[in-house]
């Protein structure tokens, strides 16, 4: 898991964080013992650098080629993939796994299954022994911590101990919690993901893809509104130890407000970010880069390309009748169809958007106001860029027996 030293991060990151190194003497000794000369780190990073990976899909021209095993850019509102490479390849996600752990905690808080003040016990299995090979919240053995502190420890400090403790609290064991993680992954449509633990510690079957992780990030942004601001918090102090968020972009780009870093030797340096500028929010996923600096730089480059090359468009204005649908066996023959909610798309800058309508065939009364009776599909330069459901704008009651009989006869004669 992520090393709890911070010497690998950029100097600017360290300055901005101001106090990334905890005050405990034991932590200071580990930090000192694992530090390497800057020249050595640069040489190692250069040696391990991957060749630039060109985009395999892109909705705008000249996407960057990024040295990573997989990367992706997604529009948060629609879930549309704007550019990607190796997006569906299952790879070790390292601590990006903890996005699912935190998401399950957040949804349990939303539903009332958990309360922020509930106490979580720290078992021998969950306890972090303070080794330099994993990241920890430093929960004392056999102690208790509130759910909200545990959530911060997972998101900000990337605590393996916090992740294991909440897994045991919610499901009885980490193994049982992994089943909950996989069930939620399936519900969200994460087709190339299998979780074996709550932390992302290496396991040969523990994999996820760039696209799946973007789907999860989007779910957090949309479903965890009350708790999403935690992902932007730069530091958290617990048990007398202050640790900084390892997402370097939080210190250098004010539009970035999440989400999670990850690192193991097998997974390389990984980062999922979310950034909002004006009315557009973009999500990036960077898997297996060669350094903490690289994952930040490549994510920054991808966000820059995305915001420069895309804009928001409203294909159909709200409260507009899009089309009129024919209804059989109703007291009226037709019903207006329109959008059920405002519809905005992210499209390449300067490109026009066209729409086509597809109504559900064979519509029959009764029809309830708000029922989906078709869809409208948007295209740009001949490529689909999104779709939205069309809903009935009024109730249509079923006709009486005599009127229905007449309508059947009229159908037979093609009237």
Catalytic residues: 95, 98, 158
Q: Which of 187, 111, 105 is nearest to 150 (CA)?
A: 105
């Amino acid at each position: 898991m992520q090393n709890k030293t911070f010497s690998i991060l950029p100097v600017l990151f360290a300055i901005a964080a101001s106090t990334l190194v905890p005050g405990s003497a034991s932590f200071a000794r580990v930090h000192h013992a694992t530090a390497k000369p800057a020249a050595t780190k640069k040489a190692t990073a250069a040696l391990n650098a991957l060749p630039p990976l060109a985009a395999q899909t892109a909705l705008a021209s000249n996407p960057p080629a990024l040295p990573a095993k997989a990367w992706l850019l997604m529009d948060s509102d629609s879930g549309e993939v704007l550019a990607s490479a190796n997006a569906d390849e299952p790879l070790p996600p390292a601590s990006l796994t903890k996005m699912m752990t935190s998401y399950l905690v957040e949804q349990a808080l939303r539903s009332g299954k958990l309360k922020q003040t509930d106490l979580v016990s720290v078992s021998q299995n969950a306890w972090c022994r303070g080794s330099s090979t994993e990241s920890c919240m430093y929960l004392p053995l056999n102690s208790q911590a509130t759910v909200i502190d545990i959530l911060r420890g997972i998101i900000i400090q990337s605590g393996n101990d916090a992740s294991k403790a909440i897994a045991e609290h919610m499901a009885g064991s980490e193994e049982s919690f992994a089943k909950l993680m996989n069930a939620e992954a399936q519900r969200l449509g994460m087709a190339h993901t299998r979780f074996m633990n709550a932390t992302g510690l290496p396991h040969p079957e523990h994999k996820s893809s760039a696209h799946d992780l973007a789907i999860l990030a989007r779910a957090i942004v949309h479903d965890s509104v009350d708790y999403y601001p935690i992902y932007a918090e730069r530091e958290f102090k617990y048990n007398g130890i202050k640790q900084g968020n390892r997402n370097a972009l939080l210190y250098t780009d004010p539009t970035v407000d999440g989400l999670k870093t990850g690192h193991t030797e097998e997974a390389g340096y990984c980062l999922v970010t979310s950034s909002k500028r004006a009315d557009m929010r973009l999500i990036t996923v960077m898997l297996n880069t060669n350094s903490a600096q690289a994952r930040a730089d490549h994510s920054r480059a991808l966000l820059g390309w995305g915001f420069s090359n895309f804009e928001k468009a409203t294909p159909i204005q709200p409260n507009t009748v899009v089309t009129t649908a024919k209804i059989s066996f109703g007291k009226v023959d037709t019903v207006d169809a329109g959008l059920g909610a405002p519809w905005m798309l992210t499209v390449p800058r300067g490109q026009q958007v066209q729409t086509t309508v597809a109504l559900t065939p064979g519509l029959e009364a009764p029809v309830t106001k708000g029922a989906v009776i078709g869809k409208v599909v948007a295209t740009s330069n001949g490529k689909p860029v999104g779709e939205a459901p069309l809903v009935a704008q009024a109730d249509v009651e079923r006709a009486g027996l005599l009127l229905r009989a007449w309508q059947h006869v009229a159908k037979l004669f093609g009237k």
